[in-house]
Amino acid sequence: MKPEDRTTPTGRVGQVKEVTSLTNPIIKDIRALTQKKARDESGTFMAEGLKLVIDALDLGWTIRTLVYAKAAKGKTMVDEVAAKTVARGGLVLEVSEKVIATVTRRDNPQMVVGIFDQRYRALKDVKPGKGETYVALDRVRDPGNLGTIIRTADAAGASGVILVGETTDPFSLETVRATMGSVFAMPVMKANAGDFLAWSRGSGAQLVATHLAGAVDYRTIDYRARPSVLLMGNEQAGLPEELARGADRLARIPQSGRADSLNLAIATGIMLFEARRHLLSLEPAS
């Protein structure tokens, strides 16, 4: 591994380390981030793609390491991101395509990867305001579902995603990929069921839970008078009684056909955009 001083288009001189060996200890640590234990111990995670890295830096996320393939060398935007990384105290690695493919575990990998600090918002500090909608997910297990929900919540103008109980890791490689960058824009909170219910009761928000036994059509609920928290159950088991009893409204999404349930991400999207439709009626016409 050899360091090299390189002037970027921004005029900043930064140190770029060239790495070609898969056994390099830094690369081994980065590869380990595909495992939850390594992410938990380091408090970091991996995001792939130049756009995601740029978005994260623009939103103030802390970058620890920037990795880019030799094929990306000399590209203006890559050099600018490298300069920002060095300016913020991060490490920049220029690696072979074989190394970056091993890091991302892809045959056709992205040419740029960022290693960032994880970021959770404390639920106790969240005070829902008028017109705000939050999503709460009970024990969500599938990283693709979670990533899609975070992306959908971002698109629907939600204010945050609350993870209740033992959930899949929002910073796993699979989840981050599924968010398409929205993980950097959408605040994520986590709590156990008891703490979540206590927060919900004191938040001033209405807790709307979807439930197979729900008596209220989700379209008839007024999402405008108070901020709303949309509580969605586990993919297999649905909501436990403790959470169902704590809800202000138990809602159902009417269905036809032979399917007895909806995919969690689809159901969450339906709820989010219905709440959004109600809230849009409060906005003045342009």
pLDDT tens track for 88-128: 999 999 999 899 999 888 777 789 999 999 999 999 999 99
Class of domain 123-280: alpha beta
Across 159-171, average pLDDT: 97
- Contact between 168 and 143 under an 8 Å Cβ cutoff? The reply is yes
Tell me the backbone φ, ψ of residue 108, rounded to 5 degrees: -120, 75
- Contact between 252 and 211 under an 8 Å Cβ cutoff? The reply is yes
Distance CA 111, CA 119 (A): 24
Beta strands in the chain (DSSP E): 2-7, 13-19, 44-48, 63-69, 91-95, 112-117, 133-138, 160-164, 188-191, 206-210, 216-217, 228-232, 249-252
H or E stretch including 81?
A: helix 76-87
Collapsing DSSP to helix, strand or coil, 131 comes out as: coil
pLDDT of residue 236: 86
Give the whole-number percent of the chain exceeding pLDDT 90: 76
Q: What is the DSSP letter of 2?
A: E
The pTM (predicted TM-score) of the whole model is 0.90
- Contact between 65 and 95 under an 8 Å Cβ cutoff? The reply is no
pLDDT band for position 84 (50/70/90)? very high
> Which fold is adopted by the domain 2-117?
60s Ribosomal Protein L30; Chain: A; (3.30.1330)
pLDDT at 10 over 50: no
Identify the CA nearest to 167 among candidates 116, 232, 211.
232
Segments making up each domain of the chain, as ranges: 2-117, 123-280
